[in-house]
Each structure stands twice: as structure tokens, then as C-alpha cells.
Amino acid sequence: METFWYIAVALMLAIYVVLDGFDFGVGIVYPVVAHDEPDRRTALAAIGPVWTANEVWLIAAGGLLFLAFPRAYAAGFSGFYLALIIVLWLLIVRGLAIELRSHLDHRLWQRFWDMAFAGSSALLAVVFGAALGNLIRGVPLNQDGYFFVPLWTDLMTGPEPGILDWYTILMGLASAAILALHGANYLAMKTVGELQRRARCVAWLGGFAVVGLVVSALAAIPYVQPAFRVQYAIHPIGYLFPGAGLAALAAALQFRRRDRDLAAFCASSLFILAMLASTAWGSYPNLLISTTDRGNSLTIANATAGTYGMQVGLWWFLIGFGLIIVYTINVHRSFWGKVRPESESSAAE
């Protein structure tokens, strides 16, 4: 039962990254691809009807983590309090930027919110990537299962690291590059004309940055967290996940070279899912790895809510998960197709 909930939480977080990830990616590439007001309105209209629906998955994943593994939820929200407050403010700024830029037809007002949208999107990608790096590297859990990490110390890994060190910064940069590629592929799929051409160019060039950063991040894992290889050594079938991820990245670049926009977007989506599955496989059964004493780590066994609670929660999860899938499919299906300048809708709709 614990393994099922571990997979469920990891799956919902992965779906969130894929869906809200292209929103972040559009924000990251927004200053580069949108050169004038029609381009900016078109880019925002491409994500306007769906970005709030995509964030439902983050809320649902957080609720599921609280239901299944309350000790890990409490430890994570306590130890990463500063980082979570930063994420909250960045999400607020990003939402305000999308909603408010069209409320006043003034160049200065619009440019301010454009910068807020692009900056918050890029920082969110970096912060989420750094958070993933913290989960891989581990945190200084004490015997009570709690920890505190400052924003940074000496930028080195070790028993008492900060949220930011050389590895988590590398993961943050890799995350920003991956989501920029993902968002550019989405824009290329949703737009036409010069905006589409620039999005294709950014995706093609950005793909090579992704390759370099991803290879560097993967190569660093054995030095940062040697235990990460244990699960792969015990069950080598797990190598299918990183193998599938690298194959999907190669396919995304190949499809991008041929300007097959939908295929490139699907390939970048598969790449993100496969790499997050690789992380979940390597971390299992750990939820939070302790850098001070491995015995202090929170696992699916010692952080669980209990058998009865998870059995009861299973029925509510199945109902809720089904409703979210239907809702997500309906929203994206309703706004499927190209966004053209002459048929733009407001990004706040």
C-alpha cells in the first residue's frame, strides 16, 4: 500500500511539472520570442485558458502527500519554509502578471508586468529544480525527523548543506533550460507566423543547452548521493527510465529539426516524465534522505499515515484523481488548436 501511494504522489507531481512546466517555459522564453504587443498578447493567450487548470495538480499532489505521508509533509514544509514562501510569492506575482497586464492600456504598465511574468517564471523553474536537487542530495534530518536548511552556506554539499549549493544550482539551471525548451515547443505548436518561427529557433538552440546541463547533472549524482544507485543496482530494469528520457530528448531535437511541433512537444513531455520517474526510482523507498545519519531518513515505512487511513483514502483518491483527469482533458480539449492574432482571447480568461 505504501508503494502505491509513493507512485501516486510521484505521478501527480510529474504531471504537474509537465503541464505547468510549459506555462513556466512560455514565461522564460517570452522576452525572446515576443517582440511586439501582438506577439505578447498571442503568447499569453496560448496559456491563458489553461494555466490555472494546470496548477490544480500541484494542490492535489500536496493534499495527497499530506494524506499518505504526513511526517514527510510536516518535515518538508517546516525545513523548506523559506523556500516555500519564495515559491508562494513567485506564484502570486506570476498570476498577477498574467491577470493584470491587460487591465491598463499603457506601455509602462504592460512592460512592468511582462518583466514580472518572465522573471517569476524563470525563478520558479530554478527554485523547483533546486528543490529536486535537495531531494536527491538529502537534507540534515535529526532524530525527530525534522531539519532546517539556510538558503545557502558555502555552496558545497555535505552533512549540513544549504538549500543552494553547486549541485542544486546546477539542477535549477537544468530545470530552467528544460522548461524553456518545453515552453518553446508549446508555443511553436500553438502559434503561427513570426512568433512560431522564433519559438522554433529558441527550442532548437535551447535543446543543446539542455543536453549539456542534463548530462552534467546526471554525472554529478554519484558524487552527491552515492546511495542513489542502490535501487538501480538491485533492480536494473529501472535504467529503462533514464534511457527512455534520453531517447525522448533526442527525439525532441530530431522532431524540432523537422519542425514537427506536436511531436516535439510530446517528446519533451515524455522526457520530463521519464527523468522524474528516474528520480523516483532512485530515491525509493526514501521520501527525505538524511545527510547526517542515514537512519534518520524518512521513508514510505516510517512516514506513512497508517494502513487504515490509506485504505479509506484510496477511494477518495480514485474519485478525485478521475475528476481531475476529466477536468484537465476537457479544459485542454476546449482550447485546442492554434492561437491566431486575429482571434486572440484575453490571457485572463
Q: How many domains does the chain have?
A: 1
- Flag whether 149 is in a domain: yes
In the chain, % of residues over pLDDT 90: 83
Report the Cα 25 to chain-centroid distance in Å: 10
Q: Which domain holds residue 250?
A: 2-338
pTM, entire model:
0.94
Question: Are 17 and 23 in contact, with CB atoms under 8 Å apart?
Answer: no
What single letter denotes the amino acid at residue 271?
F
- Flag whether 195 is in a domain: yes
- Flag whether 344 is in a domain: no
Give pLDDT, residue 346.
42
**pLDDT, tens digit, 9 for 90 and up, residues 236-279:** 999 999 999 999 999 999 999 999 999 999 999 999 999 999 99
- Flag whether 83 is in a domain: yes
Q: Is the pLDDT confidence value at 348 over 50? A: no
Residue 286's DSSP bridge partners are 299
- Flag whether 84 is in a domain: yes
Helix (H) or strand (E) segment spanning residue 283? helix 261-283
- Flag whether 343 is in a domain: no
Residue with cell 510529474: 14
All three cell numbers of 123, joined, read 525563478
CA distances 17 to 29, 124, 214, 301, 341, Å, are 17, 11, 16, 26, 28
Question: Are 37 and 87 in contact, with CB atoms under 8 Å apart?
Answer: no
SS3 291: coil
- Flag whether 106 is in a domain: yes
- Flag whether 349 is in a domain: no
